[in-house]
Amino acid sequence: MLVQVEYSDRGPAPGELECGGAPDSAAGEALVHHGRHALNAVSAAAEKARRAGDQQARLRLVIKPGGDANLLSGILAAYAGRPDARQVDILFGGATDRADHVRDGRADVALLYVPFDDVTGLDHETLMVEGRVAILPPDHPLASRSQVTLADLAQETLPRWKGVRWTGAPEAGPGPEITNAAEALQMIRLGRTIAVLPRSLAQPMHPGLVYRPVTDAPNSELVLAWSQDDRRRLIASFITAAVDACGTT
């Protein structure tokens, strides 16, 4: 089995909705959200139909850089040992668009973080469950504690993650809008916000910041996701290898 790495620089998929402005209401936002998924599904169905007859089709896995919790090497090794293994093309997506890569057919499977990533229309297997940590500037009043709770963070300024509907963190004062962990770390160093992240996404730890476990935060799950209507043997084989490699059932 070969592994090929690609960066996805493709623009919006055919059929994706484009809006001239923000929805006028929550109902309008929901309509755009579900309509985009429906149109993506049409595009994905056409792509899957084309690839279903290709006996040499590669498997396309989309991840975000650093978003595999150091599990990917073991998963690829386990898959390579299967008699039906194919070449795996690794695509790098953004912080919140990887699920759409699967929905619109750009990728076959994705590594996603729940509850951060929207898994509407996808099936998934949990590969790892982990706690969360609060990332603080060193002079923050909570930095002297060995651990913190959600109640401790209730009045803190937390970032607004672009494209993320719910993170499980307290809904406090509106903080800066950010798109990835690198932006969050920059704003924390400037004293503009703090952040609560899955433990694996907080690695490597920045030497100028303080990391404290949030003892009662909802767990985060790293999952392998694929389209609900994709029943190809190619997908099933990779899922089995991933679950075996991670020791999950």
- Residue 143, SS3 per DSSP: helix
Task: Give the pLDDT confidence score for residue 18 in this predicted structure.
Answer: 38
pLDDT exceeds 60 at position 103: yes
Query: For residue 41, which amino acid is it?
Result: A
Task: Give the pLDDT confidence score for residue 15 in this predicted structure.
Answer: 40
pLDDT digits (tens, 9 = 90+) for 125-181: 999 999 999 999 999 999 999 999 999 999 899 998 888 876 666 665 678 999 888
Q: Which distant-in-sequence residues (6+ apart) come within 8 Å of 224 by Cβ?
A: 109, 110, 111, 112, 124, 125, 127, 238, 239, 242, 243
Give whole-number Cα distances, 196 to 1, 135, 228, in Å: 37, 6, 30
CB crowding 5-35: b at 16 or more within 10 Å, else e: eeeeeeeebebeeeeeeeeeeeeeeeeeeee
The pTM of the full predicted model, rounded to 2 decimals, is: 0.76
Provide, rounded to the nearest whole percent, the portion of the chain with pLDDT above 90. 63
Q: Give the CATH number of domain 3-129+221-246.
A: 3.40.190.10
Instruction: For residue 52, give both structure tokens.
Output: 């279903």
- In which residue are the tokens 């809008």 written? 177
- Phi, psi at 154, each rounded to 5°: -60, -30
Task: Give the pLDDT confidence score for residue 161 in this predicted structure.
Answer: 87
CA 13/CA 43 separation, integer angstroms: 8
- Residue 59, SS3 per DSSP: strand
Is 132-214 the same fold as 3-129+221-246? yes
pLDDT digits (tens, 9 = 90+) for 3-24: 666 555 444 444 443 334 444 5
CA 6/CA 69 separation, integer angstroms: 19
pLDDT digits (tens, 9 = 90+) for 31-68: 655 555 555 655 555 555 545 555 678 999 999 999 99
CA 55 to chain centre: 29
CATH topology for the 132-214 domain: D-Maltodextrin-Binding Protein; domain 2 (3.40.190)
Give whole-number Cα distances, 64 to 75, 104, 111, in Å: 16, 17, 8
Question: What residue ranges do the domains of the chain occupy?
Answer: 3-129+221-246, 132-214
Give whole-number Cα distances, 166 to 56, 113, 203, in Å: 39, 12, 22
Prior bond to 115 cis, omega within 30? yes
CA 177/CA 184 separation, integer angstroms: 9
